[in-house]
């Protein structure tokens, strides 16, 4: 494999990358926070940074390849679960012993360790070969991901997408559909929209990258990234061929799915209004030179010999439908068989004729 192309975008050089991956070992929960663990945390953080830089800069993803070839991905799964246990079992006891610590940097470091681990897993599991390398621990990762569903939707999506790769498709399907009923969990998240809230002033806020903030008009016109992941995952699970074998859509589930369908259609309707407003200017013929040129081009294409040849029987009278040989001398868009039909049709044709005539002057 070649070297990292742009050293300015590198958190690690090639030698450090190989050394850091080779030294990866599962943490012991009683060692979290000591000097050896802190050194491991720093290495993991740099590995995560390097993987993100490579993926976002369209570089050779050497970090991903090294993790896969060395068989170290299960270590990351173990690490995420280890910190989860610490966070849910040990951390609350620490808070009880010292409710208002003067310095919280150490605790922050441990919590950030979990975020770095999951971030690195997400980057690698985007690829099929990455998903294949965790077949032995994929159920453990799935159980962990379900516990963290609101913040780990991407991992569940990738597991569902690649469930056949590691040869554990049946076990994954059982856990996704029967043990955890993930489709129902995702449905409830879509209905409750936990990524949105109203602050004390009643202002709308959305949760992005670890903080709540007021969304811009552009943000509101787009799907929130969490909502997008939810829809992708729901789609993947409900269109999975194994669905009918593992999942019974009873009346309760059907009602829930119908509710998210209504919510989805509501969002689509909202976006069609926005789209209509943005396109209104495109369709507004204001008499400018650009509008006149467009009208002339359209008229030429609509009334060309080729266009008439495609119409069976050639040009037809706009009034009676018989074969026509004369067309309106002003707009040149409507055909007639004779003067009598043209006079009778004029009240209906006048408005569009005036519009085209003005544009084509």
pTM for this predicted structure: 0.55
Which structure tokens are listed for 318? 């706009």
Predicted confidence at residue 157, as pLDDT, reads 80
Separation in Å, CA 273 to CA 84, 173, 206, 215? 44, 39, 22, 19
Q: Which 3 state secondary structure label does DSSP give 125?
A: helix
> What is the mean pLDDT of each successive set of 10 residues along the chain, which is 361 residues long?
49 86 92 93 92 86 92 94 92 90 88 93 90 86 77 77 71 84 89 88 84 86 86 87 82 89 80 75 65 69 56 74 85 86 91 76 58
User: What's the confidence (pLDDT) of residue 301?
Assistant: 66
CA–CA–CA angle 140, 144, 147 (5° rounding): 145
Predicted pLDDT of residue 2: 41
Query: If you write DSSP's letter for every residue of 55-101 in order, what string do you get?
Result: HHTT---HHHHHHHHTT-HHHHHHHHHHHHHIIIIIHHHHHHH-SS-
- Helix residue ranges, H only, 197-332: 217-220, 225-238, 243-246, 251-283, 289-302, 305-310
Torsions phi, psi of 360, nearest 5? -95, 5
Instruction: Round to whole Å and give the CA distance between 79 and 105.
Output: 20
Q: Taking each helix axis as running N to C, give the angle between helix 105-125 and helix 73-85, from 0 to 180 degrees, rounded to the nearest 10.
A: 140
Please enumerate in sequence order all residues whose Cβ is within 8 A of that of 175, keeping only pairs 6 or more positions apart, or say none: 139, 142, 143
């Amino acid at each position: 494999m070649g070297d990292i192309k742009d050293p300015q975008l590198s958190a690690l050089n090639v030698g450090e990358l190989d050394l850091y991956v080779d030294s990866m070992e599962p943490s012991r929960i009683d060692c979290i926070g000591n000097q050896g663990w802190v050194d491991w945390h720093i290495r993991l953080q740099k590995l995560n940074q390097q993987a993100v830089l490579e993926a976002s800069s369209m570089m050779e993803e050497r970090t991903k390849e090294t993790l896969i070839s060395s068989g170290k991905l299960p270590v990351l799964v173990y690490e995420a679960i280890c910190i989860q246990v610490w966070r849910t079992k040990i951390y609350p006891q620490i808070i009880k012993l010292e409710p208002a610590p003067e310095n919280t940097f150490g605790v922050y470091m441990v919590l950030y360790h979990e975020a770095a681990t999951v971030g690195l897993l997400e980057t690698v599991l985007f690829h099929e070969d990455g998903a294949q390398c965790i077949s032995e621990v994929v159920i453990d990762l799935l159980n962990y991901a379900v516990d963290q569903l609101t913040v780990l939707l991407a991992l569940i999506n990738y597991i569902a997408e690649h469930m056949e790769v590691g040869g554990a498709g049946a076990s994954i399907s059982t856990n996704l559909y029967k043990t955890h009923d993930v489709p129902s969990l995702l449905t409830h998240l879509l209905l409750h929209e936990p990524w949105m809230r109203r602050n004390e002033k009643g202002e709308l806020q959305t949760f992005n990258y670890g903080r709540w903030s007021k969304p811009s008009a552009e943000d509101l016109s787009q799907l929130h990234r969490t909502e997008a992941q939810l829809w992708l995952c729901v789609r993947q699970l409900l269109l999975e061929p194994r669905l009918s074998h593992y999942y019974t859509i009873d009346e309760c589930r059907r009602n829930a799915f119908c509710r998210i369908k209504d919510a989805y259609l509501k969002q689509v309707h909202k976006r069609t209004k926005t789209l209509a407003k943005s396109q209104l200017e495109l369709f507004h013929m204001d008499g400018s030179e650009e509008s006149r040129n467009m009208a002339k081009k359209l008229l030429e294409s609509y009334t060309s010999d080729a266009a008439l040849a495609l119409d069976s029987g050639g040009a037809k009278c706009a009034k009676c439908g018989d074969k026509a040989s004369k067309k309106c001398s002003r707009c040149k868009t409507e055909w007639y068989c004779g003067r009598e039909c043209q006079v009778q049709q004029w009240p209906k044709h006048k408005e569009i004729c005036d519009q085209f005539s003005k544009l084509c002057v």
